[in-house]
A and B are shown apart, each in its own frame.
Chain A
Amino acid sequence: MERIISVALVGNPNCGKTSLFNALTGLNQKVSNFPGTTVEKKMGETMLSDTVKLQIIDLPGTYSLYPKSADELVTYEILRNKSETNFPDLVVFIADASNLKRNLLLFTQVCDLGVPAILALNMLDVAERRGISYNLEVLSEALQVPVIPINARKRIGVEPIKQTILERLPKAHAAFYSIDHLSQEMLAELGKVSDKRNAYAALQYAINAKELISEKSLRIKEIFTQYQFDARQFQEEEVFARYHLIDAAVKKSRIQAQDNLKKSITKRVDAVLTHRFYGIGIFLVLMFLIFQAVFSWSTYPMELVENAFAFLSEYVKNALPQGVLNDLLVQGVLAGLSGVIVFLPQIIVLFFFIAILEDIGYMARVGFIMDRVMRPFGMNGKSIVPLISGMACAVPSIMASRSIENKRERLITILVIPLMSCSARLPVYALLISIFIPDTAVWGPFNIHGLVLMLMYLIGFVAALLSAWIFKHFIKSAQQNYFLMELPGYKLPLPGNLLITLYEKASAFVVGAGKIIIAVSVILWVLASTGPRDKMNAVAQKYEQHMAQLNETEKNEALLGGLNLQRDADFLEASYAGQFGKFIEPAIRPLGFDWKIGIALLTSMAAREVFVGTMSTIYSVSGADDNLHSIRAAMLSETNTQTGKPSYSLATVFSLLLFYAFALQCMSTVAIVRKETGGSKWAIIQFVYLTFLAYGSSLFIYQVFG
Chain B
Amino acid sequence: MNLSEIKLGQHAIVRKVNGDILALKLFEMGMLPGETVELENIAPFGDPIAIRVGESKLCLRLEDAAHVEIELH
* Interfacial residues, chain A to chain B (CB-CB below 8 A): 63-64, 66, 68, 98-102, 105, 130, 232, 235-236, 239-240, 243, 266-267, 270-271, 274-277, 279-280, 364, 367-369, 371-373, 375, 381, 480, 482-489
Of the residues B20, B42, B47, B52, contact of A267 by C-beta under 8 Å:
B52
Top 3 nearest A-B pairs (CB, nearest first) are A372-B45, A99-B55, A487-B57
Would you mind naming 8 contact pairs between A and B with Cβ atoms under 8 Å apart? A63-B29, A101-B55, A130-B55, A239-B28, A364-B59, A372-B44, A381-B59, A486-B58
Judged by DSSP, the binding face of B is mixed
Q: A239-B24, A482-B19, A482-B21 are in contact. List 4 more A-B contacts (CB 8 A).
A: A99-B54, A99-B56, A271-B41, A489-B57
Contact A275 B44 (CB under 8 A): yes
Q: Which of A99, A266, A375, A482 has the most CB of B within 10 A?
A: A482
Bits for B15-43, please: 1 = Cβ < 8 Å to A, else 0: 00001111111111110100000001111
Contact A102 B21 (CB under 8 A): no
Residues of B within 8 A of A480 (CB): 19-22
B20 → A minimal CB distance (Å):
6
B41 → A minimal CB distance (Å):
5
Contact B29 A483 (CB under 8 A): no
Of the residues B30, B41, B56, contact of A274 by C-beta under 8 Å:
B41
Q: Name which residue of chain B comes closest to A240, CB basis.
A: B32
Known: A266-B57, A483-B64. A274 touches B24 (CB 8 A): no
Total B residues in contact with A, Cβ cutoff 8 Å: 33
Known: A270-B41, A484-B58. A372 touches B46 (CB 8 A): yes
Determine whether B7 belongs to the interface, using a CB cutoff of 8 Å to chain A. no
Known: A480-B20, A482-B21. A371 touches B27 (CB 8 A): no
Contact B55 A482 (CB under 8 A): no
Known: A232-B20, A487-B57. A372 touches B25 (CB 8 A): no
CA distance A278 to B36 in the complex (A): 29
B28 → A minimal CB distance (Å):
4
Of the residues A63, A100, A270, A488, contact of B28 by C-beta under 8 Å:
A63
Of the residues A68, A240, A280, A381, contact of B27 by C-beta under 8 Å:
A240
Contact B20 A239 (CB under 8 A): no
Contact B48 A483 (CB under 8 A): yes
Q: Name which residue of chain B comes closest to A480, CB basis.
A: B21
Contact A276 B44 (CB under 8 A): yes
A515 → B minimal CB distance (Å):
38
Residues of A within 8 A of B41 (CB): 267, 270-271, 274, 368
CA distance A239 to B30 in the complex (A): 9
Q: Which of B26, B47, B61 has the most CB of A within 10 A?
A: B61
Contact A279 B44 (CB under 8 A): yes
Residues of B within 8 A of A276 (CB): 42, 44
Contact B23 A369 (CB under 8 A): no
Contact A235 B24 (CB under 8 A): yes
Contact B54 A102 (CB under 8 A): yes
B66 → A minimal CB distance (Å):
11
Contact A487 B44 (CB under 8 A): no
Contact A369 B29 (CB under 8 A): no
Contact B59 A484 (CB under 8 A): yes
Known: A102-B30, A368-B43, A371-B43. A482 touches B58 (CB 8 A): no
Contact B44 A483 (CB under 8 A): no
Contact A373 B25 (CB under 8 A): no
CA distance A640 to B55 in the complex (A): 71
Q: Name which residue of chain B comes closest to A368, CB basis.
A: B59
Q: Name which residue of chain B comes closest to A96, CB basis.
A: B55
Of the residues A232, A372, A482, A489, contact of B43 by C-beta under 8 Å:
A372
Q: Which of B20, B29, B43, B58 has the most CB of A within 10 A?
A: B43
Q: Name which residue of chain B comes closest to A64, CB basis.
A: B28
CA distance A381 to B29 in the complex (A): 19
Residues of A within 8 A of B32 (CB): 239-240, 243
Contact B29 A484 (CB under 8 A): yes
Q: Name which residue of chain B comes closest to A63, CB basis.
A: B28
CA distance A490 to B64 in the complex (A): 25
Residues of A within 8 A of B55 (CB): 98-102, 130
CA distance A375 to B56 in the complex (A): 24
Q: Name which residue of chain A comes closest to B45, CB basis.
A: A372
Contact B21 A68 (CB under 8 A): yes
CA distance A235 to B32 in the complex (A): 13
Residues of A within 8 A of B44 (CB): 274-277, 279-280, 369, 372
Q: Name which residue of chain B comes closest to A281, CB basis.
A: B44
Q: Which of B28, B54, B64 has the most CB of A within 10 A?
A: B28
Q: Name which residue of chain A comes closest to B22, CB basis.
A: A482
Q: Which of B26, B27, B52, B64 has the most CB of A within 10 A?
A: B27
Of the residues A98, A275, A371, contact of B61 by C-beta under 8 Å:
A371
Residues of B within 8 A of A236 (CB): 23-24, 27
Known: A364-B59, A372-B44. A274 touches B50 (CB 8 A): yes
